[in-house]
Chain A
Amino acid sequence: MADSERSGLGVFFANLKEAPQRVLRSLFRSGPPATDRSRSSFVFDNVFLHIHAVRTHRWSLRWATTWGLGVASAAAFLIALATGVLLMFYYKPYPEVAYDSIKDIHFVVPTGRFIRNLHRWAANVMVVVVFLHMARTFYTAGYRSPREFNWLIGLGLLVTTLGLSFTGYLLPWDQLAYWAITIGANIAQSPQELTDAVGITEYFDPGGLQRELLLGSDVVGADALIRFYLLHVMVLPLLFVALLAAHIWRVRKDGGLARPADADDRLGPPPPDTYPVFTETPQKTYHLAAIVEGRTPAVDQSPENTVPSMPHLFYAEMGVLMVTLLVCLLLALSFDAPLKELANPMVPENPAKAPWYFLGLQELVAYSAFMGGVGIPTLVIIGLGLIPYLDRETRGTGEWFGGPGGGRLVWHSTVIGLAAAVGIAAFAIYFGWLREWFPDIPQLVITFVNPGTILAAFYAAYSLYLVRRYNSTRAGALGLFTCFLCGFVVLTVIGWYFRGPNWDFYWSPADWPAH
């Protein structure tokens, strides 16, 4: 029937009948992703997929290139985000009721316990994976030009991740939370250790200001709880999402993942089922041709070793997401998130332990609150941030432990880093430190001479030695990073397993006194 023969009503019903199909077609405008072009459209027609490049280099899809750690961090964040929003349905951020609302979530909210466990484990998985992701980027020298700035964004994401995790720690308002935050707030105050020693606290008190800003009061109470809640559910997630978007976007803008110069040769010829690209025309012409001089950002690289992101990259990404979810689920079903007694400002937890990723710092804090809690972490962050600007070599980019010395250097540094950390910790545990020998010694001396600073100085010296010996900044960086990683692990394990009541050393938690 021709249109002219149909009545208006007829057209209406015909359109109604076609509506479902038209809705589908408006959603999938480029049709099924069967050709390379429709696959490209699939990516750049979609606001969420558009942060990916349309084509992905085959090197990036090797499992060993990244082990999927970046996507896993994002996946853990998404899981924590989804479960966190769900928890907000029931969580009440007020001291008298916060604890009870967690009990409610645990006992009566449908799927509540499961969601809370998932939230907690996703947060922990995220911290682990973010650390690993950073280590991966470092060891494959992925921070080098043009990716320096993305390394800084990554550092921002690391700090935000720790902030998210730490602010979430207070929310259950149990003993664990209360005393961990009390300690955390006092660490924020610890610059007073310096200003007190110099005697200027009265006029210039950044420590006191930090603590006040964090707690909104002089004690951990309702004001602190609402601040931590605000940071945890609003400020830090927004910041994280913004940084994450920039991070992923820069990955694309910086030309995908770093890869060795000879990656194409190493990969060999593409598998027979991948279709060649740019066979009709020799240049890319679709981008800013009028503005950019030269050929394309992908200079010196053949496009032939790329594959369409849809579906190859997305299989990989979805696969990593699912594996991350699987790990979180396994943990959530096996271990309940802890909830201790209701916070009691009169009875301190003993030992009051920070979240595990801060236990290394807590071990240092035992000597100097300022150095362990503020000084050394700040130096570490600054040091990490400087790496891409100091290491301007090209050797080994995109390769594991790439650079002068390579795997052997990392192996040596691991042994030295572990030995030094265990050694200084054991020394301090068995013989005590300055305060035990000279009870009247000024705190300022301990602030600058304590196991933490000595260890850091030793690592720095070792790293300078490596720079000299290999005549390479990268070698020094490899050594220093490895050493700090080892120190972090050693101190964390000591703080987590070997420290008991009164922060005394015990070979096992089973040896702790009964109360």
Chain B
Amino acid sequence: MNTRTRPASATAKRSRLDPEPLPRRDWIGISAVAAAAGSLLFALLGILRLPKPAVFASPSKTFNVTLPEGLALGQPYIPPGRAVMLVRDEEGVFALSTVCTHLGCLVRPAPDGYECPCHGSRFAPDGAILKGPAPRGLPWLQIDGSGGTYLVDEGVEVPVGTRASL
């Protein structure tokens, strides 16, 4: 602005309600505001990444479990603190997630298999879906081992029918 020369008399006659007589680009001002806005925007983008966690503090999904002695065939065993049940049948032992596939409530044993207390989904003893609103059956989980002690991985789903030996 100070490069502009203007007769003082012209200044005196102008009203403060008039726009500036010679509209022109104030390049330094514009770029300064743009740079400031740009850097603040960039900072905002950067810090918006912070709330999304990079890792979850959830415990390791792999754990050992020993079946209690005298567990009846078909009776589910839920290791303390885990959302998994181990079921022994004639063919072996399989691990079934107890998390309902609808909205994540924990299913509980019912006469014909399992039922979800939240919205009434029902599942067969092998996890197959009997009644909605759950969209699919209970996932089968990876299980290894034999002889009553098994290594279960909650994080790995396996095809239905995958069992560990007795």
Contacts and interface: CB of A to CB of B under 8 A. Distances in A.
Determine whether A and B are in direct contact in the complex, meaning some CB atoms lie less than 8 angstroms apart. Answer: yes
Interface of A: 34-37, 82-83, 86, 89, 108-112, 115, 271-273, 275-277, 279-280, 311, 315, 318-319, 322
Interface in B40-66: 46-47, 49-55
B11 A315 contact: no
A275 B14 contact: yes
Contacts of B33: 318
Contact of A273 (B4, B15, B17, B53): B4
7 contacts: A272-B5, A273-B4, A275-B16, A277-B16, A279-B12, A311-B29, A322-B39
Contacts of B6: 272-273
B17 A36 contact: yes
A272 B19 CA distance: 16
Given A110-B52, A111-B46, A276 B20 contact: no
Interface of B is mostly: loop
Contacts of A275: 11, 14, 16
A49 to B, nearest CB: 15
A55 to B, nearest CB: 10
B16 A37 contact: yes
**9 closest residue pairs by CB, A with B:** A36-B16, A273-B1, A110-B49, A34-B19, A108-B54, A35-B19, A111-B50, A37-B17, A86-B50
B69 interface: no
B32 interface: yes
Contacts of A271: 1-2
Contacts of A34: 19-20, 23
Interface of A is mostly: loop
Contact of B53 (A86, A109, A276): A109
A272 B49 contact: no
A277 to B, nearest CB: 6
Contacts of A89: 50-51
A35 B46 contact: no
B15 A279 contact: yes
Contacts of B5: 272
A272 B16 contact: no
B18 interface: yes
Given A273-B1, A322-B36, A109 B12 contact: no
B42 to A, nearest CB: 12
B47 A35 contact: no
Interface in B6-32: 6, 8, 11-12, 14-20, 23, 29, 32
Nearest to B44: A82
Interface string B91-130: 0000000000000000000000000000000000000000
Contacts of A315: 29, 32
Given A271-B2, A318-B36, A276 B47 contact: no
Nearest to B55: A108
A86 B33 CA distance: 26
Contacts of B51: 86, 89
B122 to A, nearest CB: 39
A321 to B, nearest CB: 8
A115 to B, nearest CB: 6
A272 B8 contact: yes
Given A110-B49, A110-B54, A273-B4, 12 more contacts: A34-B20, A86-B50, A89-B50, A109-B54, A111-B46, A111-B50, A115-B50, A271-B2, A272-B6, A273-B2, A315-B29, A322-B36
B55 A35 contact: no
Contacts of A311: 29
Contacts of A322: 36, 39
Nearest to A329: B43
Contacts of A319: 32
A130 B15 CA distance: 41
Nearest to A308: B16
Contacts of B20: 34-35
A37 B19 CA distance: 9
A271 B3 CA distance: 10
Contacts of A86: 47, 50-51
Nearest to B5: A272
B1 to A, nearest CB: 4
A275 B6 CA distance: 11
B157 to A, nearest CB: 26
Contacts of A37: 16-17
Contacts of B49: 110-111
A89 B52 CA distance: 10
A276 B12 contact: yes
A122 to B, nearest CB: 13
Contact of A276 (B11, B18, B52): B11
A111 B46 CA distance: 7
A141 B8 CA distance: 36
A284 B105 CA distance: 70
B31 to A, nearest CB: 12
A315 B5 CA distance: 22
A272 B8 CA distance: 7
A209 to B, nearest CB: 39
A222 to B, nearest CB: 20
A86 B52 CA distance: 11
A279 B12 CA distance: 8
A165 to B, nearest CB: 22
A44 to B, nearest CB: 15
A336 B46 CA distance: 19
Contact of A35 (B12, B17, B29, B50): B17
Contacts of B39: 322
